[in-house]
Amino acid sequence: MKIRIRTLIPVLLALPVTIMAGTLAADELAEREQAARQASGEFVKQLGAALKKALAEGGPEAAIGVCRDIAPQITGKISRENGWRMTRVSSKVRNPLLGMPDAWEQKGLSDFELRAGQGEKYPDMVISKVVEESGVRYYRFMKPIPAQPLCLICHGSDEQLPEGVKAELASNYPMDRARGYRVGELRGAVSIKQPMGIPLQAPSRQVDLP
Ligand code: HEC
C-alpha cells in the first residue's frame, strides 16, 4: 500500500503542472491570434480607405500605386515592428515576389474556399495555428480577403478594366494572373508567420501606419 502511494506521488505532482502548461500554451496562442487579427484587420481597413481615396482623387491609374506601394509599406512596417512576416498571398498572383503562397498557405487558401462552399462566410474565417517546419515552431495565421466591387476595377474581367489600367498592367505585370474575379470570391489572404521564439510585443498594440 505504502509503495503504491509513493509511486503515485510524482504522478499527482506532475498533474497540475501539465494542466498549467496546457493552459499557458492556449493563452499564448490566443494572445498571438488576437494580435494577428487586430493587425490584419487594421491593415485591410487602412488599405481599403487608401484605395477609395486614391480612386476618388486620381482615378484608377493613380490607385494602382496603393495596392502596389502602400500595401507592402504597411505590411513591411507591421512585420518589422513585431518580428513577423506579414504579407498578402493568393493562388492567382499579380506580384509573385510578395504574393506567392507557400505550401501551408496554399492549403489555407483551398480550405477557405472549401469552407465557403459549405456556407461559411469569409469575414468569419481565420486559420490560427502553431506549426513545426524543419524543427522550428512558428505561429501561423491567415485571414481571407474577399473581392469587393471596387477591387474589380483592377482585378475584374477584361471588360471591367479601364483601358489605362490595362495598359499599366500590361507593361508592369506581363505575367498577371490576378484578374477575372467576381464580387465575393476569394482574392487572397493576409498571412502572418512568426517564430515562436520571438515573444509577442503587446497583444493589443495600436498599429501605426506609415
Ligand atoms: C487601382 C488598381 C487596383 C485596385 C482597385 C485593387 N488592386 Fe489589388 N493589386 C493591384 C496591383 C497593381 C497589385 C500588385 C501589387 C504589387 O506589385 O505587389 C495588386 C495586388 C493585390 C494583392 C496581392 C496578391 C497579388 O495578386 O499579387 C491582393 C491580395 C490584392 N491586390 C487585393 C485587392 C483587393 C482585395 C482590392 C479591393 C479592396 C484590390 N486589390 C484593389 C491593383 C489594384
C-alpha 195/C-alpha 75 separation (Å) is 17
Does residue 201 lie within any of the structural domains?
Answer: no
User: Ligand 1 centre and the CA of 24: distance in Å?
Assistant: 39
Query: Would you state the pLDDT for residue 134?
Result: 93
pLDDT digits (tens, 9 = 90+) for 81-98: 988 999 999 999 999 988
Q: Match 475584374 to its residue by C-alpha cell.
A: 156
Burial class (CB in 10 A: 0-12, 13-18, 19+), 64: buried
Does residue 88 lie within any of the structural domains?
Answer: yes
- 148 pocket-lining for ligand 1 (C-beta < 6 Å): yes
Say which DSSP state 110 is in.
Answer: H
Q: What is the pTM of this model?
A: 0.85
Does residue 4 lie within any of the structural domains?
Answer: no
Domain count, the chain: 1
Does residue 203 lie within any of the structural domains?
Answer: no
Query: Would you state the pLDDT for residue 23?
Result: 57
- Residue with the bigger pLDDT between 28 and 176: it is 176
Domain region containing 133: 12-195
Q: Any idea what the CATH number is for the domain that residue 160 is in?
A: 3.30.450
| 89 CA closest ligand 1 atom index | 24
Does residue 200 lie within any of the structural domains?
Answer: no
Residue 55: how many other CB atoms lie within 10 Å:
17
Of the candidates 5, 25, 29, 28, the residue with the CA atom closest to the CA atom of residue 17: 25
The whole-number average pLDDT for the span 43-57 is 93
The whole-number average pLDDT for the span 141-149 is 97
